[in-house]
Amino acid sequence: MGIATLGRSSPVVRSGHVQLSIILRESDKSTLQTQIFDQIRTMILNGQLRGDDPLPTTRELSAQLGVSRNTAVLAYERLIAEGYIRTKPYVGTFVSPDLPDTAFLSASESATAAPTAAHDATAAHQGGEDEPHLRTHRLADPNRRRLAADFWVGRPDARTFPLKAWSQHIKARLKSAGTKLTTYSDPAGLLELRQAIAKHLAPARGIVCDPDQIIIVGGCQDGFNLVGRLLVKPGSTAVVESPCYQGAAFVLESLGARLHPVPVDHDGLDVTQLPHVEGAVAYVTPSHQYPIGVTMSLQRRIELLSWATQYDAYIIEDDYDSDFRFVGSPLTALKGLDRNERVIYIGTFSKCMGPGLRLGYVVAPRRLVERFRRMKMLMNNGQSWLEQAAMADFMASGEFGRHLRRIRQLYRERRDALLGALQKHFGECEVYGEQAGMHLVWKLPKHFPSAEEVEKKGLAAGVGVISLATGSALRFDRNDGGDRLLMLGFVALSEKEIEEGVARLATALKG
């Protein structure tokens, strides 16, 4: 195999083409395509390649390395899918200009700022309508299927599920499944899948971790429960966003935690209001706050990490729909900035694939890995083998990356259709969370009825639009303005359905 060498600090243009220091090894278990992908990604993450640096053409790369043109093309496609590089027609291929600098923060830089004067607004909220400590989140309502257009949140589009490829992987694994199906395996999950996830997380989320740190779980909820079982003691504090996702808050509460809500504004969690208590956990959704949709600012992220270090707290980062970012490139996860091992990262395949798989993962701090693994074993001995095996293959083959790119593009078009339809039927709209994720939030104009009322009128007209309560959001403050917020999931509807749904809603609200 070929070796193309070059200086480490920046690529050099030489007689019209660029050379990269890529070394391919036949002994490596990875495919050539993956080796190329990994090494270019590493150069970008290390800062060896910077924004707008030119890359060789696929023809040049294949010639340099002695690999097929197709191999080079596939490696580039994965890099484009992950937002690391981009192609300008007729000009060439370049490193993306808008990679977040935050991916490269050093340990010293990330642990400087301290939280400013905080307001110790401890609140022990308990819902009244349900049994204490056994409140449950809202998941699905089968009757909703009758709606003409349903902007339900958090549901992927069944039509985009990669059924053909998925079925092929399932069938291939089934051929030799007898032994795998009849033995217990590592409760932390299938090693191949953990390896594929670790490999995915580095470029996609800026998280560098060993497969050993990854515990496969049955979706986010299993992850919340796992973390809660280990870190929540009865009476301890669980910081949650106000408003926040019910599923996480309720399971922490069921384990005896006192919920401590901290308000969310345009920059995410208001870190000045974090409690001054030792040993808390803080549950946050920094990439796309649930339900509001805002992204936590870098400054806030650094302050949150600093708080956790100061108060011996752990942060549960729920990165539920971070695969879909429509503006700029992928944001580095909070975990990617975490130099003091305070963050437990929870990812899921429920949004980018589907909740029927019941697959997600937890990235644990090194010092907690063994306890996480043991607790997972005590809880349920791990997840089913077949889905794990198929997912590992789907990721390792590069299909997962291509699937993400495909649906990200599709979901962006649908988001644009929704924004367009809102403007067409309602004029200028104040919207949150449209830069990422599977839903956006519309702050209703003052002359409109409340979100709850709009939801009712929509349902009567066959259109599902979602108030915070319906959308599994937990509110702590009646005066938080949440009554004016309407959630609109856009990924499971076609552009036509979106346009028709918004038109129907406009008619219903006028009537």
Q: Which is nearer to a second copy, 108 or 182 (CB)?
A: 182
Contacts of 142 (CB under 8 A, 6+ apart): none
Compare residues 221 and 289 and give the one whose CB is closer to a second copy.
Answer: 221
Amino acid at 72: A
- 351 vs 153: CA distance, rounded Å: 10
Whichever of 70 and 167 has its CB closer to a second copy, that residue is 167
> By CB under 8 A, which span of 155-163, 195-203, 261-269, 478-486 interacts with a second copy?
155-163
Give the residue with the Cβ less far from a second copy, 88 or 145: 145
Q: Of residues 3, 23, 124, 163, which one binds a second copy by CB under 8 A?
A: 163
Candidate ranges 80-88, 208-216, 350-358, 473-481; the one touching a second copy (CB under 8 A): 350-358
Q: How far apart are CA 484 and CA 449, in angstroms?
A: 8
Using the minimum distance from each CB to a second copy, give the nearer residue, 254 or 329.
254
- Bridge partners of 240, per DSSP, are 261, 283
Residue 407, token pair as written in the block: 């649906």
Binding flag, residue 155, a second copy (CB under 8 A): yes
Q: What whole-number distance in Å separates Cα of residue 401 and Cα of residue 423?
A: 33
Q: Which stretch binds a second copy (CB under 8 A): 173-181, 199-207, 446-454, 455-463?
A: 173-181
Q: Which C-beta is closer to a second copy: that of 35 or that of 285?
A: 285
In the complex with a second copy, which residue's Cβ is closer, 247 or 275?
247
- Specify the amino acid at residue 284: V
The site map against a second copy for 243-262 (x = CB under 8 A) is ----x--xx--x--------
Tokens of 481: 């303005």
DSSP notation for 411-436: HHHHHHHHHHHHHHHHSS-EEESTTB
Query: Least distance in Å: CB of 228 to a second copy?
Result: 10
Interface residue with a second copy among 206, 291, 347, 355 (CB under 8 A) is 355
The reply on whether position 37 binds a second copy by CB under 8 A is: no
Instruction: State in angstroms the smallest separation of the CB of 89 from a second copy.
Output: 34
Distance (Å, rounded) from C-alpha 120 to C-alpha 469?
A: 26
DSSP-derived 3-state class of residue 156: coil
By C-beta, is 250 or 283 nearer to a second copy?
250
State the Cα–Cα distance between residues 488 and 220, nearest whole angstrom. Answer: 21
* Amino acid in the structure at residue 22: I
Q: Which of 13, 107, 124, 140 binds a second copy (CB under 8 A)?
A: 140
CB of residue 126 vs a second copy: minimum separation in angstroms?
A: 16
Amino acid at site 169: H
Stretch that binds a second copy, among 93-101, 164-172, 333-341, 475-483 (CB under 8 A): 164-172
Residue whose tokens read 């809660």: 228
Q: CB of 278 within 8 A of CB of 248?
A: no
* 43-59 residues labelled b (16+ CB within 10 A) or e (exposed): bbbeebbeeebbbbbbe
The letter for the amino acid at 70 is N
Beta carbons of 37 and 84 less than 8 angstroms apart: no
Closest distance to a second copy from the beta carbon of 121 (Å)? 26
Q: Which stretch binds a second copy (CB under 8 A): 39-47, 150-158, 276-284, 297-305?
A: 150-158
**Spatial separation of the C-alpha atoms in residues 149 and 79, rounded to whole Å:** 35
Of the candidate spans 6-14, 110-118, 293-301, 367-375, the one that interacts with a second copy by CB under 8 A turns out to be: 367-375
> Which of helix, strand or coil describes residue 510?
helix
Contact pattern from residue 176 through residue 215 relative to a second copy, giving x for each residue in contact according to CB under 8 A and a dash for the rest: -xxxxxxxxx-x----------------------------
Q: How far apart are CA 330 and CA 99, in angstroms?
A: 7
Q: What's the min distance (Å) between Cβ of 288 and a second copy?
A: 19
Query: Minimum distance from CB of 154 to a second copy (Å)?
Result: 9
Count residues near a second copy (CB under 8 A).
Answer: 62
Half-sphere exposure of residue 287: CA atoms within 13 angstroms, side-chain side: 31
Minimal distance, residue 322 CB to a second copy, in Å: 18
The position carrying tokens 């060993």 is: 210
Does 241 help bind a second copy (rule: CB under 8 A)? Answer: no
Q: Under the phi-then-psi rule, with left for phi > 0, alpha for psi from -120 to 50, and beta for the rest, what region is 71? A: alpha
Query: How far is 172 from 187, CA to CA, in rounded Å?
Result: 23
Whichever of 63 and 165 has its CB closer to a second copy, that residue is 165
> Quick check: 158 binds a second copy (CB under 8 A)?
yes
- What CA–CA distance (Å, rounded) separates 213 from 332? 18
8 A C-beta contact, residue 120 and residue 276: yes
Stretch that binds a second copy, among 160-168, 193-201, 259-267, 298-306 (CB under 8 A): 160-168
| Residue whose CB is less far from a second copy, 83 or 218 | 218
**Cβ contact 313:341 at 8 Å:** no
170 contributes a contact to a second copy by CB under 8 A: yes
Reduce the secondary structure of 209-248 to three states and give it as a string.
CCHHHEEEECCHHHHHHHHHHHHCCCCCEEEEEECEEHHH
| By CB under 8 A, residue 134 contacts a second copy | yes
Binding map of a second copy across residues 369-408, x = CB under 8 A, - = no contact: --x--xx-xxxxxxxxxxx---------------------
Residues lying near a second copy in the complex (CB under 8 A) are found at 131, 134, 136-137, 139-140, 155-159, 161, 163, 166-167, 170-171, 174-175, 177-185, 187, 217-219, 221-222, 225, 229, 234, 247, 250-251, 254, 353-359, 371, 374-375, 377-387
